[in-house]
Amino acid sequence: MKVTALLPQLARRVLQVSVLVFVLYAAAGGPWRNYKMGHNSARLVGLIHGESWGQLYALNEDVLQLFGDSHKASLGMLGMPWAGRVFGVNTVDPLMAASHALKTERFSLALWLGALLPVLIALLLGKVFCSHLCPARLAFEVGQLVRRGLIRLGLDPPEWRSETRLGGWVLLGGLLAAATAGTVVWLFVLPYVGLSAAIFAGVTGGAGLVLALPIAGWLLVDVFLAPGLWCRNLCPTGWWLEQVGSWSLLRLTKRGAHACPTSCNLCEQACPYGLQPKFETHRPACDNCGVCVVACPSDRLGRTLTLSIGATIVHANDQEAS
């Protein structure tokens, strides 16, 4: 196995964990700002809330002061994946933007400009949000580790898969519901929104457990019944990313004209959705995670960046160009 094929997976895992850390840090920013406005002193925070809280307050104060006024810098780190503010740059989940527009019947240029970045990422890199940025995907991958552990122990959980794609209908239903109830609908529909909200609620002392129940239910389904069911068949974000990402420049491709051995299905086993890139039937559901690139024993799979002029550049560190 080539080290160059493992490096992108390491980078992907670091990015997934970094997104989760960002959500945790953004959630903790609320209590920190309350302490800042109420006490504005690490010593007072330590005396009132405990020494450890005082030390954390002081550490965060020192870090934020590197960017100027600590309170303003804290306000520059808000939100969750696809919907937040990172170093002052606003991003908006396109589903949230559409839901807000339907609910308020108003068009906000700033809102749609914030939604433009996710769309541009999908146009360039396809469904990389699902494989690299979605915290729910990280949770599902942990669930798959549990599933593989159960199989090694001799248990044989069912593996039900379906080719029926309902993400577009879930998107339509969610938008219709959001037109009445608002964006709160997505807390119970989108696992990555629900998980992020549960973290926020847990950190701030709210009902985090209730918000985590939907994703816990989908995790149980993923582990014990139908791996990849939500992400491949039902997720509305995954569905619209597939539509936009069908023109993406980054693609998982099969190299060479020779057919793969009929007895080899390691890419299908590695794929969280059970796709078969060796037959080149993996698009548009493929999210460019690259797990199959590592699993392929003959180095016939790789992610390529195809330019509009027709040139093809092998994605750095996926595999060596031939």
Burial class (CB in 10 A: 0-12, 13-18, 19+), 57: buried
Per the structure, the count of domains in the chain is 2
306 vs 173: which has the higher pLDDT: 173
Interacting residues of 321 by C-beta distance below 8 A, sequence separation 6+: 314
- Domain limit, last residue, from 202, 220, 246: 246
Same domain as 179, residue 166: yes
Same domain as 163, residue 106: yes
CA–CA separation, 254 vs 260, rounded Å?
Answer: 9
303 is a domain residue: yes
Same domain as 275, residue 238: no
Edge-to-edge, what's the strand order for the sheet holding 77-80? 77-80, 83-86, 89-91
pTM, whole model, 2 decimals? 0.84
212 is a domain residue: yes
Same domain as 257, residue 139: no
CA–CA separation, 151 vs 145, rounded Å?
Answer: 10
- Domain limit, last residue, from 218, 246, 274: 246
CA–CA separation, 77 vs 131, rounded Å?
Answer: 23
Same domain as 181, residue 110: yes
Same domain as 261, residue 136: no
- Domain limit, last residue, from 211, 228, 246: 246
Quick check: 4 pLDDT over 80?
A: no
- Tell me, what amino acid is at 228? G
Same domain as 267, residue 204: no
What are the pLDDT digits (tens) for 237-282?
999 999 998 888 888 888 877 788 888 889 888 898 989 888 888 8
291 is a domain residue: yes
Same domain as 156, residue 294: no
49 is a domain residue: no
Q: Provide the residue range defining the domain that includes 301.
A: 249-314
pLDDT at 314: 45
Q: Longest C-alpha distance within the chain, in Å?
A: 70
Same domain as 271, residue 154: no
Quick check: 313 pLDDT over 50?
A: no
What are the pLDDT digits (tens) for 88-127?
778 889 998 899 889 888 888 888 888 888 999 999 999 9
pLDDT at 224: 94
Interacting residues of 232 by C-beta distance below 8 A, sequence separation 6+: 165, 238, 273, 274, 285
8 A C-beta contact, residue 122 and residue 244: yes
Average pLDDT along the chain: 86
CA–CA separation, 267 vs 277, rounded Å?
Answer: 7
8 A C-beta contact, residue 203 and residue 212: no
148 is a domain residue: yes
